[in-house]
Amino acid sequence: MSKRILVTGGAGYVGSACLRHLLSNGFDAIAYDNLVQGHRESVPNGRLIVGDIADTHALTMALKKLNADAVMHFAAATCVGESVDDPEYHYRNNIAGTLSLLNAMRSAGVKRMLFSSTCATYGMNPKVPMAEDSAQDPCSPYARTKLVVEWMIRDFAHAYGLGFTVLRYFNAAGASPDGQCGEDHNPENHLIPLTLQVPLGQRKKLMVFGNDYPTPDGTCIRDYVHVDDLAQAHRLAIEATTPQTQEVFNIGTGTGSSVFEVIRACEQVTGKPIPFDVVARRPGDPPALVASPRKLIERLHWKPHYTNIVQIVHSAWKWHESHPQGHRTAAPATVNV
């Protein structure tokens, strides 16, 4: 079983949650992050290497220094809207960066990889819930880069003897109960933190993009999975990954929540009204994206602890209320460069 893990993008929202979960379960894990989107403060002391995945030599040295036997790969540009405006950056960062990582793994003799992919690769596929064999037809440059990386990993596995697991997760949300990790993007583009900015006084009102979708209340439905449950799934997946593994899992609760349901959950948790305006739909937003987690539950015995949207929002609100300026209010961590 893999115990020494290099976590690329390990200072990011999901990457840092997975890093801490690995450490608490007996793994020797190190974050590798350029801090463009990640936060030093979200990484435990002495567990960060500052570097870019485009630097193949630095990656190779990091893998050798750790004597890593596996990589968890989170490092990527992730903003869908930005990918439409600046596709070159996303293709260079996500695809060329992964190629650099795969070459570093070959040089260092690392034969196990877990890739953080996305349900966005399914695109406008109308199937609900979504199983792993559903057709993939990504609608944005961001999603297309993730699908290309999935193909690239498969090709490297076939040619060079690499074992991999791909995790396509749905909407990561929530914050850790210990108060160490919350969602803090710049700019923020995820629904729950955007909604919570209203009762925090950081935003006057929320914009709801369309209320005429073919859903019960007319707004988009998404499957929100708590970040700690995501971390558990990543640990179970890396434990099961061997140099022969070629596997794909969806991560989600199997239950969708509409935009209006999220707003009501935020009002319930905060005790404050959340005004909103309905505006035009955004191009490429599917009406519903809900996972079928059956394979993950049956194969890896995954069991989510957060099973409804109110629980998830409650954890997020606890963090945002105590960190109104995000991770900048936390004490800086000691880093290894």
Q: Which helix (H) or strand (E) holds 29?
A: strand 28-33
Q: Is residue 73 within 8 Å of 98, Cβ to Cβ?
A: yes
Helix (H, G, I), strand (E, B) or coil at 51: coil
Tokens 């209340």 label which residue?
Answer: 217
As a 3-state breakdown, the chain gives helix, strand, coil percent values, each rounded to 5, of 40, 20, 40
Cα(332)–Cα(102) distance, rounded to whole angstroms? 31
Q: Look up residue 173 and give its two tokens.
A: 């949300």
Tokens 């944005």 label which residue?
Answer: 140
- DSSP annotation of 130: B
Cα(229)–Cα(223) distance, rounded to whole angstroms? 13
131: closest CA among 299, 312, 257, 282?
299
Judge whether 142 counts as a catalytic residue. yes
Tokens 């695809």 label which residue?
Answer: 95
Q: Which residue among the candidates 142, 169, 213, 224 is catalytic per the annotation?
A: 142
Q: List residues with catalytic annotation.
A: 142
